[in-house]
Amino acid sequence: MTSTGHQSNSNMAVWAITAILGIYLACAVVGLPQEATEMVTSAHVHHETMGDHGHGASDHGDSAAPPYWTVIPFVLLLGAIALFPLLSSTEDWWEHNINRFKVAAGLGVLTLAYYAFLHHSPVEAHWPAHQVVAPADGFAQTGFVGAVLGNAILAEFVPFIVLLFSLYVIAGGVRIEGDLQANPLTNASFMAVGGLLASFVGTTGAAMLLIRPLLETNKERKHVAHTVVFFIFIVCNCGGCLLPIGDPPLFLGYLEGVSFTWTLGLWGPWLFTNGLLLLAYCLADEFYFYRTETIRDIKRDVTHIRKLKITGLALNGPLLLGVVLAVGLLDPHKPLPGTHWHSWMFLREAVQLTLVALSLYFGSKILREKNSFNYHAIVEVAALFIGIFVCMQPALQILAEKGKLLAESLSPAGFYWATGGLSAFLDNAPTYLVFFKAAQDPSLSGGATAGVPEATLVAISLGAVFMGAMSYIGNGPNFMVKAVAEKSGVKMPSFFGYMAYSCAILLPILMLTHWRYLSADDADIQTAAPQASVSAPLHE
Q: What is the distance between the alpha carbons of residues 249 and 461, in angstroms, rounded to a whole number?
A: 7
DSSP bridge partners of 309: 177
The helix/strand/coil state of 177 is strand
Helix, coil or strand: residue 279: helix
Runs of H (alpha helix) within 218-294: 225-234, 248-255, 267-284
**DSSP line for 65-131:** PPPGGGGHHHHHHHHHHHHTTT-TTTHHHHTSHHHHHHHHHHHHHHHHHHHHHT--S-EEE-SSS-E
Low-confidence ranges of the chain (pLDDT < 70): 1-7, 44-63, 301, 403, 445-446, 520-540
φ and ψ at 400, to 5 degrees? -60, -40
Q: Which helix (H) or strand (E) holds 426?
A: none
Nearest to 427 by CA among 356, 476, 470, 460: 476
Q: Do 525 and 538 meet the contact criterion of CB atoms below 8 Å apart?
A: yes
- At 409, give phi and psi (nearest 5°): -105, 5
What pLDDT is stored for residue 58 in this prediction? 40
What phi and psi, each to the nearest 5 degrees, are found at residue 240? -100, 30
Nearest Cα to Cα of residue 462 among 399, 418, 426: 418
Q: Determine the angle formed by the axes of helices 267-284 and 225-234, rounding to 10 degrees.
A: 170
For residue 528, the model assigns a pLDDT of 42
Write out pLDDT tens, residues 153-170. Answer: 998 899 888 988 998 899
Maximal C-alpha separation, the chain: 74
Let me know: does 397 contact 504? Beta carbons within 8 Å.
no
pLDDT of residue 265: 93
Which residues have C-beta within 8 Å of that of residue 436, sequence separation ≥ 6? 252, 253, 256, 450, 452, 457, 460
Q: Using CB atoms within 10 Å of the CB of residue 303, give its burial: 0 to 12 exposed, 13 to 18 middle, 19+ buried.
A: exposed
**Residue 30: what pLDDT?**
96
User: Element (H or E) spanning 263, and its range?
Assistant: none
Spell out the long-range contacts of 437-446 with Cβ–Cβ below 8 A and sequence spacing 24 or more: 437/403, 438/403, 438/404, 438/406, 438/407, 439/407, 439/415, 441/540, 442/51, 442/52, 444/536, 444/537
Rounded Cα–Cα distance for residues 306 and 483 (Å): 26
Angle of helix 267-284 versus helix 184-217 axis, rounded to 10: 80
The three-class DSSP label of residue 46 is helix
What pLDDT is attached to residue 537?
A: 34
Closest CA to 76 of 418, 390, 469, 304: 390
Residue 9's contacts (CB-CB under 8 Å, 6 or more residues apart) are 1, 374, 375
- Return the number of other C-beta atoms located less than 10 Å from residue 185's C-beta: 11
Q: What is the pLDDT of residue 540?
A: 33
